[in-house]
Structure 1
Amino acid sequence: MRYMLIVKATPQSEAGEFPPDAERMFAEMAEFNNELIAAGVMLDGAGLQPSKAGKRIRFEGRGNTFVTDGPFAETKELISGYWILECKDMDEALSWARKVPFVEGELELRPFFEPEAFEGLVSDEVMEQEKGWREAQRERALKAQA
C-alpha cells in the first residue's frame, strides 16, 4: 500500500530559508533517503519551494477556474516536502516516519486510495487501466532510483 509522508511547512521554510545547520541536515536526509531506497520503500520524495512560488486553482463550475498567486496564509496548512512510500501497512509506514532525521517539525502520514477502493464504482476496464498506471509509476520510480 502506498502512503504519503507530508512535511508540514514552517515559517522558515515559507521564507525560503534553510536552517543554520543545513549541511548536516541535508547529509542526514540523504542518508535517510538512501535507507528508504535500499529497503525498497521509497517511490518518490522531494522538497517543495515556498508557496510564494506556487498558485492555487479554484473551480466554480465546469470550466470556471480562478487562479491565486502565492504566497498563501496559514503556514500550518502548507506543506514543504513529501515522500511517497510503499509499505505493507500503516504500522510499517509509521515506523519509517519516526526515523525521519528532524530535530523539530511536523509530519502527516496518509494512505493513498488504491484502485481496489473503487471496485463497484468504476468499470473493470477503468480499474485495470488505473492499476496499469500505478504499476508504470512504480517501475519508473524504481528505475530512477537505480
Structure 2
Amino acid sequence: MKYLVMVQGTQADYEAMRGKPSEHSPVWSEKDMQSMFAFMQAVNDDLAESGELVDAQGLVEPARTRHVRAGKDGRPVITDGPYSETKELLAGYWVLECESLERVTEIAARVAQCPVPEGSPDYPVVIRPIDNGGGDVCG
C-alpha cells in the first residue's frame, strides 16, 4: 500500500532556518542545518535501498504559497502569502510503498527523531494512506 508521510512547519520555522528566530522558533545554526539535511538524506537513502521510496520532497516556505479558490462568478480567486498567522502547513513529504501501516509507522517514528535546535516546536509526523481505489476526489 502507498502512504503519504508528511512533516509540518510554519513560516516562522523557515525564517528561523535563515537566522531569524521568533518566540516559538529558535535560530538554526549552520551545524543544525547540516545535521538535519544529513539525517533526512540518510532516511531517503535507506528508503531507496529498501525499495519503499516512491518520492520525497521538501517544500518552500509558506510565504511563497498561492491559494486558488472558485469565485462566486466562476472566476478564480487567487491569494498569495505570506501566511504568518497560519498554523502548521506541509513542509515536506514522502510517498512510500510499504507492506503495512506498522512499517510506515516505524519510518515516521524515525523521521520524528530528526535533529532540531533546542526549543524548536514539536510537530507530529502525519501518515495518510493513499486511496488507490479511483474514487472521485472532487465530490
Q: TM over 0.5: same fold?
A: yes
Report the equivalent of 2:87.
Answer: 75
Q: Point out where structure 1 has 5 or more consecutive residues left out of the alignment.
A: 122-146
Instruction: State how far apart, in whole Å, the 1-side matches of 2:82 and 2:129 are.
Output: 28
What letter corresponds to residue 83 of structure 1 in structure 2?
W
Report the equivalent of 1:130.
Answer: none
Instruction: State how far apart, in whole Å, the 1-side matches of 2:128 and 2:73 are.
Output: 29
Report the equivalent of 2:25.
Answer: none
Report the equivalent of 2:10.
Answer: 10
Q: 2:54 aligns with which of 32, 36, 43?
A: 43
Instruction: State how far apart, in whole Å, the 2-side matches of 1:42 and 1:80 are.
Output: 18
Report the equivalent of 1:111.
Answer: 129
1:63 is displaced (CA, Å) by 4.2
TM superposition outliers: structure 1 runs of 4+ over 4 Å: none
1:60 is displaced (CA, Å) by 3.9
Report the equivalent of 1:54.
Answer: 65
Instruction: State how far apart, in whole Å, the 2-side matches of 1:61 and 1:90 are.
Output: 41
1:62 is displaced (CA, Å) by 8.7
> Is contact 1:10–1:105 with CA below 8 Å preserved after alignment?
no
Greater RCO, CA 8 A, separation 6+: 2
1:74 is displaced (CA, Å) by 1.9
Q: Point out where structure 2 has 5 or more consecutive residues left out of the alignment.
A: 19-27, 116-121
What letter corresponds to residue 112 of structure 1 in structure 2?
I
Q: Percent identity?
A: 27
Q: 1:88 aligns with which of 99, 105, 108?
A: 99
1:10 is displaced (CA, Å) by 3.5
